[in-house]
Chain A
Amino acid sequence: MTQTSIRPSQDFLPGDEALRRRYQLGRWLRYLALAVVVLIAIILLIPILWMILGSFKLQRVAMAYPPELIPSNPVLDNWERLLINRPSLRWLLNSFIVAGGIAIFAVISSTCAGYAFGKKSFPGRTLFFWLILMTMMLPRQIYIVPLFVLMRNFGWFNSYQGMIAPYLVYPFGVFLMRQYMQSIPDELLEAAKMDGASEVQLFRHIILPLSRPAIGAIAIFAFMAGWNDYLWQLVMATDELWLTLPVGVAKLTASGVGSVDVGVGMAGATFAFIPMLLIFLLFQSYFIKGITVGALKG
């Protein structure tokens, strides 16, 4: 990547004052624009910083005006109340089980289906693929009511299977995997078949190892989707012990206007933020890969 792609050329003739001045102006404009970008970045980061600071403030301090920007007397009260008085560790566990389960099932179904859609031919292939692809575009809220009724009939409220079930098929994953499969050369599969590999062996020993990068991207995205699926988890969990972390912490502050416990709310929000932050930092490259792969031939 060259560094000068969008900048104007610097090699104008010596002595051409007008051009030089125009270049200077362009440079200043560029600095000004970059300052705006930095400002936007700061605006995006302030809420996160404010949340972390707030989690160490006593109720009286958190609700003071003018606000204490840096808490002069930081306390752990809120964290104590969050971690000891509330089943927040259970919520964390619930979220990990639900998001982890969603990631595992999404990887299995997406890899299998993506392989079939990308490499096999069978009647109805295009139709089935389009059906799944179309639902990638549909908001879940369009069928959330019948899904709710279905879960009621199953008796799956307050259960992991109820929160995971709608994600057993992950349309984005199927789409991404099919794109990926098409980049695997057919000759490779045919050579393996000539050597007498069975369908299952072919899948396990050739397809699976080759699709590891796509599997990583799908796992991360499905995990994040599962972790952030606030609405469905709100619908499915009614018992305090079955709440997931986002739903649980959201209920911390929703105890009625006036009696809002800001400090505990901020501690809860921070607590819900940390796991995803760690996952993001650990798997950054998969995030970027997943985002761009979907778009390349989309």
Chain B
Amino acid sequence: MLKRFATKIWQGRWGYVFIAPAMIPFLIFIAYPLVQSLLLSFYKAGINRAKWQYIGLKNYTNLLTRDPVFPTAIKNTFLFVLGVVPAAMVICLFVAVLIYPLSQRKQTFFRAAFYMPVVSAGVVLAMVWVYIYSQEYGLLNYIFDSLGLLDLLNNGEKIGWLAQANTALFSLAVVVLSWSLGQPLILFLAGLAAIPETLYDAAKIDGANSWQAFWKITLPLLRPTMLFVLVVLTIAVFQVFVVVQLMTLGGPANATQTIVYRIWVTGIVGSKFGYASAMAVILLAIVSAAAAAQFKLLDRQLT
């Protein structure tokens, strides 16, 4: 028995040789810190290693009941995901269906325009949008002013998009949305290209109009793509960090705190390793639950 297993391993030795360049760094830089994250969450742990102390579940109970900011951060993270992800899906689907029949050249233009924010990266966009959102000299207030919207919305006063608690989170979500469109759009266009033309011809012969064709053919056949996009987008939006750190620092009045931003502030800046690890484990639980739910959706789709 043991011998047979040993032979199998020996026969597969080249497999191990080839996975080693990935598995060794995986163990050191992903698996080990991941396990460490779980362990640290039960400790009061700071810069001084000698003072690390096991405190059981206290980090978790403090986080959920006594922390003045963390529950808000959880709420904001969910608002981000629930706002940006569906919006990105709907917009991309709408755009993809509309530009798919266009000529290749026009399609390339739109693809490039929507992909441009992805290329320019979070930092660059965050910096520009701070400028655009500025209360005193921002472009957005100027545009709103020119269209008469400031009079309509704010009695002609300029709006402090990032300075007001009721607009800050939404303003950040718009920035995140702007770079969340490029990838799904390309995926949807590829998904549309994979739908056989004959299905539409058959529908036409049966007297279906284009609206019916969209609901009965396009949407069902795009569902695998939609679910893939859903999973990828959700995970990406859970990680929102750069807009918070560069645009609002979590303010005003904690209106834009997110889980990931709290982890950075607490764990890296504040050196409270244990407490931040507990936040990370909560994030892990949330992300896993979200992914599991979405995969379940995917499974039901496939069977």
Q: Give chain A's interface residues, CB within 8 Å of chain B.
A: 1-9, 26, 30, 33-34, 36-37, 40-41, 43-48, 50-51, 54, 62-67, 108-110, 112-113, 115-117, 120-123, 125, 128, 131-132, 135, 137-150, 165-166, 168-169, 174, 199, 203, 224, 227-228, 230-231, 234-235, 246-247, 249-250, 253-254, 262, 265-266, 268-269, 272-273, 276-277, 280, 284, 287-288, 291-292, 295, 298
**Which residues of the other chain, A, contact B40 by a CB distance below 8 angstroms?**
145-146
Given A50-B139, A63-B137, A266-B131, A37:B18 Cβ within 8 A? no
Q: Give chain B's interface residues, CB within 8 Å of chain A.
A: 5, 8-9, 11-23, 25-26, 29-34, 36-37, 40, 91, 94-95, 97-101, 103-104, 110-117, 119-132, 136-137, 139, 142, 145, 178, 181, 183, 186-187, 190, 192-193, 197, 200, 204, 209-210, 213-214, 218, 225, 228-229, 231, 235, 238-239, 241-242, 245-246, 259-260, 263-264, 267-268, 273, 276-277, 280-281, 283-284, 287, 291
Report the separation of the CA atoms of residues A174 and B23 in the bound assembly, to the nearest whole angstrom: 11
**Which residues of the other chain, B, contact A138 by a CB distance below 8 angstroms?**
34, 284, 287
* A-B CB contact pairs (8 Å), 17 listed: A3-B103, A4-B101, A8-B210, A48-B120, A62-B131, A112-B22, A115-B18, A131-B31, A139-B239, A141-B241, A149-B273, A150-B33, A203-B18, A246-B123, A273-B121, A276-B119, A295-B190
Asked whether A146 lies within 8 Å of B32 as measured between CB atoms, the reply is: yes
**Which residues of the other chain, B, contact A199 by a CB distance below 8 angstroms?**
14, 17
Asked whether B95 lies within 8 Å of A37 as measured between CB atoms, the reply is: yes
Asked whether B268 lies within 8 Å of A1 as measured between CB atoms, the reply is: no
**Which residues of the other chain, B, contact A235 by a CB distance below 8 angstroms?**
264, 268
**Which residues of the other chain, B, contact A63 by a CB distance below 8 angstroms?**
136-137
- Interface-central residue, B30, B31, B126, B260, by most chain A CB under 10 Å: B30
Given A112-B19, A269-B128, A139:B283 Cβ within 8 A? yes
